[in-house]
Amino acid sequence: MNAPPPVSDDFALFLDFDGTLVDIAPTPDAVLVDRRLLGHLQRVLDHLDGAVAVVSGRPIHEIDDYLAPLALPCAGLHGLETRLHPDEPVEAAPVGPELSALKAALSGSGLLGRGVSIEDKGAAIAVHYRIAPDCEAAVLDVMREAIAGLPDLHLVRGKMVVEAKPAYRDKGWAVRSFMERRPFRGRTPVFLGDDVTDEDGIDAAQAMGGFGIKVGEAESAARFRLADVAEVHRWLSRDLPAHAHPRRLPE
């Protein structure tokens, strides 16, 4: 496994949440946060002068709840929500009526009650089958059929989940957007993620001269890997290099 270099003071660090900072749980609301993680993140945040962001499929308010009292720059719902500074309001992308039509189709599909659940994220809809993995094919069939007449939506597959969202934003868009603004601008983008949806963020970071770190053994374009969430925590907790001199970033 090609281990990543330690955190450098010129990094802009982008972190997925589920499967990267916390272990995958049977249901989305059952994840547990190791409280030592907050100390690791605060330490890295201070070292990188604030250039650390969570980029997740979850809504930003959920990330805030899990990481409280720490508040980080965030992109939620795969970029449909963004917040650069913790004291700023969340900026939400406009959402059309297609999601309401999709939710109605899913409600009448017969899948619910068989271990399949719908998570309405407002700007996206996720269908989870973690406790009913045998329903994967049925979930995919229903979702594909439902969006066939909704061209503004596309499907994003994750670990035991299929999500429908507007097609014009993803985690790569979030990375590129943050990299245009301080404190990220002028730094080397580094994206950590474990899932298929994180490949967009990894590709964006590597296209901009940085690199990706894949968590786990799944196929990835990332240049480096960490074995699991515990390894991510160890990587974040490693000794940080001293600032040799103040960094001068472009205006």
For 197-219, what is the mean pLDDT?
94
Count of other CB atoms within 10 angstroms of residue 41 = 20
* Residues 153 and 166 sit within 8 Å (Cβ to Cβ): yes
Tell me the CATH class for 11-93+169-237.
alpha beta
Per CATH, the number for 98-166 is 3.30.1240.20
> Between helices 171-179 and 199-207, what is the axis angle to 10°?
30
Q: What is the pTM of this model?
A: 0.77
> Which pLDDT belongs to residue 245?
39
> Between helices 229-237 and 36-47, what is the axis angle to 10°?
50
5 prior amide bond cis, ω within 30: no
Please give the backbone phi and psi of residue 129, each rounded to the nearest 5 degrees, phi first: -140, 35
* pLDDT of 4 over the 90 cut: yes
> Which pLDDT belongs to residue 117?
81
> Which pLDDT belongs to residue 179?
97
The tens digit of pLDDT for each residue in 37-89 reads 999 999 999 999 999 999 998 999 999 999 999 999 999 988 888 999 888 88
Q: How many Å apart are CA 199 and CA 68, to the nearest integer?
A: 27
* pLDDT of 96 over the 50 cut: yes
* pLDDT of 250 over the 60 cut: no
**The dihedral of CA 63, 168, 107, 129: what is its sign?**
negative
Tokens 């059309």 sit on residue: 96
pLDDT band at 204 (very low <50, low <70, confident <90, very high): very high
Which residues are designated catalytic? 16
pLDDT band at 239 (very low <50, low <70, confident <90, very high): confident
Domain extent listing, the chain: 11-93+169-237, 98-166
